[in-house]
Amino acid sequence: MKRFIARHVGTLPKSGIRDFFEIVSKMKDVISLGIGEPDFDTPWHIREAAIYALEKGKTHYTSNLGLVELRRAISTYVETHYSVSYRPDDEVIVTVGVSEAIDLALRALLNPGDKVLYHQPCYVSYNPSVALAHGVAIPVPTRADDGFALNVADIEKAWQPGCKVLMINLPCNPTGGTCDRARLEKIARFAVEKDLIVLSDEIYSELVYDNAHTSIAVFPGMKERTIFLHGFSKAFAMTGFRIGYACGPAELIDAMMKIHQYSMLCAPILAQEAAVEALTRGEDSVKKMREQYHRRRDLVVRRLNEGGLKCHAPGGAFYVFPSVASTGLNDRDFAYGLLKAQSVAVVPGTAFGANGAGFVRASFATGYDQLVEACDRIERFVNATTPCSAPSSS
Amino acid sequence: MNPVLKLLIEGEHLTTAQMAQVAGIPEVEINQHLEQLKKDRIFLGWRPVLDLSRESVAAVRAVIEVKITPERGGGFNRLAERLSRFDEVESCYLMSGAYDLLIFVNGPSLQKVAGFVSEKLSTLEGVLSTSTHFMLRSYKEGGFLIEHSSQEADRLKVSP
């Protein structure tokens, strides 16, 4: 059968953590810090809006771009929170999660062989999405000693002729890395200078803990070269609704719409109805969840550092990305060992690209009590594995 | 009766260590009893009783009388449960008499509470009418008297 499979699909590697999670799913009493979604259920008023829509017979197709009401709500929300204004009529498209929006954008932009810069470690789908759109992905490293922020110098170093797109995800999954305004402005200037289109995946932007979030689209010359991608999964805990959106220059949105129109037609109407409710009345729910994540982040960062794993405080998202170097193990052995010895699941950093080597991703989107227990177990595991530098005095 | 439940019903705020002393059993057992009560959904959680009028925290409370249409099979339950899930709803009771549900609602402002009633509550199929009463002042809260003027009765230090 292999000969029938398209080359670029056949050569695509499977997600590196698949076999690992096969093992996890068969084990009992595992505390999983491997899950990349909120532990909260969608706030009730949002779920109820979907039920209400169903009761009212909202079961039909919507416009390809999405419900006008939702696009208006998105436009207002983005303007209020990110200070960039987009016309609901032709600069906004509603998609099936940000994942679809990324796929649409890449397919709309890339000719075979076009190059895409992206920072790494990064979300597992970035590299494959570029490959599926016949592009070439060029990683830009980010570093732990820098809080995994993105540096323009590293982008400059990685840049090569043929680069057309820069993909950024700030705050970042898996590192929680964010970028301050000054650095982001330099990156923006570089994008203008090299005539790059920026795909800015801001799915975690409501979940920042130390500094206010800035979108790269606000800088001079950027709105016309940025596709702003956002969704409802993380901030509003709506992963299963599969709903997101893209905002950008009308011509680009129109090109994305063509693919969306023929492949997806429109995002599910019930998810769109729920999204309207989320944007218009969901602010309080987001605030409550953010406060919870903040408390958990402080706990986990403190406990991991005390327990012997060097861990920076992530500026956003709900992941910590500690180094496991102190244990003398590589990230994969650490993750397998921890699972076997203490039944705690974390994701090996190499699942997020080669630059993740020596780190693991632990999600703190888990109840506080569970996190305390998980940190206890990790500490026990680290103590048992760390090579002794000095004999203990008895 | 579960000894911890007995202490909880009496309503005095005790730490688990104090409960252990009063009931004369080890604290470990107190915790086990508490866990059991939680598991049985008898003990639902703790809430402080606060008089927020002294702290100028913006909070509006209202009681809403709701008439609804009962349904085959579930009676009032389905709608009552659906309404109860909203964060704004503090308590929800099925009542005898002129209306069916009595709902206690709170929110940060009059507009938010009014929005809940007009957008969420009254638009539901099965809700026939609502009658909203805003609370103006409270005199007793969860068993505690709220004294607006501090008239502490002077007790003699020594009395015959």
Helical (H) or strand (E) element with A85? none
- Say what the pLDDT of residue A393 is: 43
Find residue A201's DSSP bridge partners: A169, A229
Is the predicted pLDDT of residue B152 greater than 70, yes or no? no
Please name the residues between 125 and 154 in chain B that touch chain A, using a CB distance below 8 Å. 125
| Closest alpha carbon within chain A to B107 | A284
Identify all chain A residues contacting B87, using CB atoms and an 8 Å cutoff: 43-45, 284-285
pLDDT of residue A391: 46
The answer to whether B86 faces chain A, any CB pair under 8 Å, is yes
What is the residue-wise DSSP string for A306-338?
HTT------SBTTEE--B-GGGT--HHHHHHHH
For residue range B96-115, list pLDDT tens digits in order.
Answer: 999 999 999 999 889 999 99
What's residue A64's pLDDT?
96
Contact of B123 with chain A, judged by CB distance below 8 Å, is answered with yes
CB pairs under 8 A between A and B: 18
| DSSP H or E stretch at residue A25 | helix A18-26
Task: Please report the beta strands in chain B, taking only residues with DSSP state E, as ranges in sequence order.
Answer: 60-68, 89-94, 101-107, 127-134, 140-141, 144-145
Question: A331-352: string of b/e by CB count within 10 Å (b at 16+)?
Answer: bbebbebbbeebbbbbbbbbbb
CA atoms within 13 A on the CB side of B19: 23
Asked if A48 and B123 come within 8 Å (Cβ–Cβ), the reply is no
ipTM: 0.70
Q: How far is A50 from chain B (nearest CA, A)?
A: 12
Question: What tokens appear for B145 in the block?
Answer: 């008297």
> Residue A45: which of B120, B124, B125 has the nearest Cβ?
B120
Burial profile A37-51: b = 16 or more Cβ within 10 angstroms, e = fewer: ebbeebbbbbbbbbe
Is the minimum CB–CB distance between B31 and chain A shorter than 8 Å? no
With a CB cutoff of 8 Å and minimum separation 6, the contacts of A373 are A31
Q: What is the CATH number of domain A44-281?
A: 3.40.640.10
Over residues B44-68, the mean pLDDT reads: 87
Q: Which of residues 89-148 of A touch B (CB under 8 A)?
A: none
Question: Do the beta carbons of residue A94 and residue A264 sit within 8 Å?
Answer: no
Confirm or reject CATH 1.20.120.640 for domain B52-137, answering yes or no.
no
Question: Hey, are the CB atoms on A285 and B87 less than 8 Å from each other?
Answer: yes
Q: Is the whole model's pTM more than 0.80, yes or no?
A: yes
Instruction: Decide if B82 touches A, using CB distance below 8 A.
Output: yes
Task: Place B147 in a pLDDT band, splitting at 50, 70 and 90.
Answer: confident
Give A2-42+284-385's CATH code, choosing from 3.40.50.720, 3.90.1150.10, 3.30.450.20, 3.40.50.300. Answer: 3.90.1150.10
Cβ contacts (< 8 Å) between B125 and chain A: which residues? 55
Please indicate if any CB of chain B lies within 8 Å of the CB of A48: yes
By Cβ distance, the residue of B82, B115, B125 closest to A48 is B82
> Is A48–B87 a contact, with Cβ atoms under 8 angstroms apart?
no
Task: Note whether B120 contacts A: Cβ–Cβ < 8 A.
Answer: yes
CB contact under 8 A, B123 and A52: yes
Distance CA A308, CA A389 (A): 13
What is the layout of strands, in order, in the sheet containing A244-247? A92-95, A244-247, A226-231, A197-201, A163-169, A115-120, A136-141
What's the Cα-to-Cα distance from B13 to each of A367, B24, B34, B40, B139, rounded to whole Å? 26, 17, 14, 21, 21
The DSSP letter of residue A121 is S
Stretches where chain A sits below pLDDT 50 are 390-394
Tell me which residue has tokens 């043929």: A162
pLDDT category, B153, cuts 50, 70, 90? low
Q: Tell me, yes or no, if B38 comes closer than 8 A to chain A by beta carbon.
A: no
Find, in chain A, the residue whose alpha carbon is nearest to that of B79: A48
Please list the residues that pair with A296 across neighbouring strands.
Answer: none
CA distance between the termini of chain B: 42
Nearest by CB to A44, from B85, B124, B125: name it: B85
Peptide bond into A171 cis (omega under 30): yes
Distance from the Cα of B46 to chain A's closest Cα (Å) equals 17
Q: What confidence category does residue B74 fall into, taking pLDDT thresholds of 50, 70 and 90? A: confident
Q: Give the nearest partner residue to A44 out of B86, B124, B125, using CB atoms.
A: B86
Cα nearest neighbour of A53 on chain B: B124
Q: Which residues of B touch A55 (CB under 8 A)?
A: 125
Is residue A79 within 8 angstroms of chain B, CB to CB? no
pLDDT digit string, tens, across residues A309-343:
999 999 999 999 999 999 999 999 999 999 999 99
Please give the single-letter amino acid code of residue B124.
Answer: L
Q: Quote the CA–CA distance of A380 and A366 in Å, as a whole number.
A: 20
- According to the model, what pLDDT value does residue A356 have? 94
Contact (CB, 8 A) for A271 and A47: no
| Cβ-defined contact of A55 to B125 (cutoff 8 Å) | yes
Domain locations in chain A?
A: 2-42+284-385, 44-281
The amino acid at residue A304 is: L
